[in-house]
């Protein structure tokens, strides 16, 4: 009987209301975001469509942007949607009638749990797989901001890669077959000096950590401190650089495919940006559900019976905004290394859960006739 009360009509009504509200909010946010994006990217879209179907390019671009936008806005949509859903249910006296009939808040919490499970699975897949794929598909399409920032091809400036007493610098050919051009490889760095310098017009990976230097020159320091050089047509040397590091030269770990992110985490386990991104993806499935729970709890606090406590309702809405803002703040602190990656990822979740649970506890005590400082 208890199970039936949690999965009966009251739960189904709540689930429908919350699902519809979250979807409506997400749709509105997507529309606004796309309009702003199209206004900024129209020139690049026209350039990318030269010699192609503009409709096809626009359709692909919209799909790629939708993937990125939804992954960013889904937690906000579930929080705001849950808040508005509870406001609407109270305006229609649905929750008042249910409470007068002896129905607790439990069916609503079950509905929020189901919504959180579905949206959490979507959020996890978006963060881990679909958004990185969409970002680099947009780069290949050649349209939009990502195409400008992460364009394939030869860089105009040189990039340094350093490890222990060795360093290599050169222009990078970004793409599926990455290379270094006009490269200088310094070996045995000590202070301002080095024991050997290898310069090459082209450096590319062979596999298993080996790289080929073409049209190279080897310069060595003599005992008197002078440099003696000799040309070498082809030279194979081991390097610590993995090809993925050049293929995905500019993007932050936030946009990297999961396999590339895992490889970089193995190579640089102390990198705070990589660790923060990994923990963000580990916990992504919890985010929409906990935010929906918080949004509903905030809205419930704005009412007492049939009385609307407007100042409290406005204050709770502002509190929800601050919690969504904390996502970026904590993630930025994690990327900078100011907070450990687990704390940076779990703090917003703990904040949403703690506030939501605290408000439910206060509401439960208030329903039992306790006077509480809620107005």
Condensed to tens digits (0 to 9), the pLDDT of residues 21-51 reads 999 999 999 999 999 999 888 888 888 888 8
What is the per-residue pLDDT across 47-69, written as a single tens digit (0 to 9) for each?
888 888 888 999 999 999 999 99
Element (H, E) at 260: helix 258-267
Contact predicate 183/218, CB 8 Å: no
Residue 368 neighbours by CB distance under 10 Å:
7
User: What does the alpha-carbon distance between residue 244 and residue 260 come to, in Å, rounded to a whole number?
Assistant: 7
Task: Tell me the pLDDT band of 373, cut-offs 50, 70 and 90.
Answer: low
With beta carbons less than 8 A apart as the criterion, state whether 344 and 285 touch. no
Q: Are the beta carbons of 276 and 344 closer than 8 angstroms? A: yes
User: In angstroms, rounded to a whole number, what is the distance separating the alpha carbons of residues 252 and 331?
Assistant: 13
Distance CA 265, CA 244 (A): 12
- Mean pLDDT (the chain) is 89
pLDDT in tens, 193-251: 788 899 999 999 998 889 999 999 998 877 666 778 889 999 999 999 989 889 998 88
d(CA 246, CA 175) in angstroms, rounded, equals: 8
66-80, 127-141, 173-187, 301-315: the lowest-pLDDT one: 301-315
The phi-psi region of residue 171 (left if phi > 0; otherwise alpha if psi is between -120 and 50; otherwise beta) is: beta
- Enumerate residues 6+ apart whose C-beta is below 8 A from 215: 200, 201, 202, 233
Provide, rounded to the nearest whole percent, the portion of the chain with pLDDT above 70: 95
Angstrom distance (rounded) from CA 216 to CA 204: 13
Closest CA to 23 of 70, 83, 77: 77
């Amino acid at each position: 009987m208890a199970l039936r009360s949690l999965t009966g009509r009251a739960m189904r009504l709540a689930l429908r209301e919350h699902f519809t509200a979250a979807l409506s909010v997400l749709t509105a946010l997507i529309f606004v975001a796309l309009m702003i994006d199209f206004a900024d990217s129209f020139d690049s879209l026209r350039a990318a469509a030269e010699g192609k179907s503009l409709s096809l390019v626009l359709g692909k671009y919209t799909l790629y942007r939708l993937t990125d936008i939804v992954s960013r806005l889904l937690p906000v949509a579930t929080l705001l949607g849950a808040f508005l859903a509870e406001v609407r249910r109270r305006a229609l006296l649905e929750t008042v009638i249910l409470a007068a009939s002896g129905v607790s808040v439990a069916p609503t919490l079950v509905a929020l749990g189901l919504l959180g499970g579905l949206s959490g699975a979507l959020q996890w897949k978006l963060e881990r797989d679909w958004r990185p794929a969409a970002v680099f598909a947009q780069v290949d399409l050649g349209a939009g901001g990502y195409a400008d920032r992460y364009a394939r091809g030869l860089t105009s400036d040189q990039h340094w890669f350093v490890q222990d007493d060795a360093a290599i610098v050169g222009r990078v050919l970004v793409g599926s077959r990455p290379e270094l051009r006009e490269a200088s490889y310094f070996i045995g760095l000590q202070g301002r000096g080095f024991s050997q310098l290898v310069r090459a017009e082209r450096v590319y990976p062979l596999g298993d950590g080996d790289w080929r230097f073409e049209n190279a020159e080897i310069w060595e320091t003599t005992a008197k401190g002078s440099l003696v050089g000799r040309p070498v047509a082809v030279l194979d040397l081991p390097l610590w650089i993995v090809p993925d590091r050049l293929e995905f030269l500019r993007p932050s770990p936030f946009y990297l495919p999961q396999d590339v992110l895992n490889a970089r985490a193995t190579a640089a386990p102390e990198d705070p940006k990589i660790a923060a991104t990994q923990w963000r993806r580990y916990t992504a499935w919890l985010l929409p559900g906990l935010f929906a729970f918080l949004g509903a709890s905030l809205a419930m606090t704005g009412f007492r019976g049939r009385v609307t406590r407007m100042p409290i309702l406005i204050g709770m809405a502002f509190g929800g905004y601050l919690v969504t803002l904390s996502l970026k703040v904590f993630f930025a602190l994690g990327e900078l290394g100011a907070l450990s990656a687990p704390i940076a990822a779990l703090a917003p979740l703990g904040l949403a859960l703690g506030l939501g649970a605290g408000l439910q506890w206060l509401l439960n005590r208030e329903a039992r006739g306790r006077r509480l400082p809620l107005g």
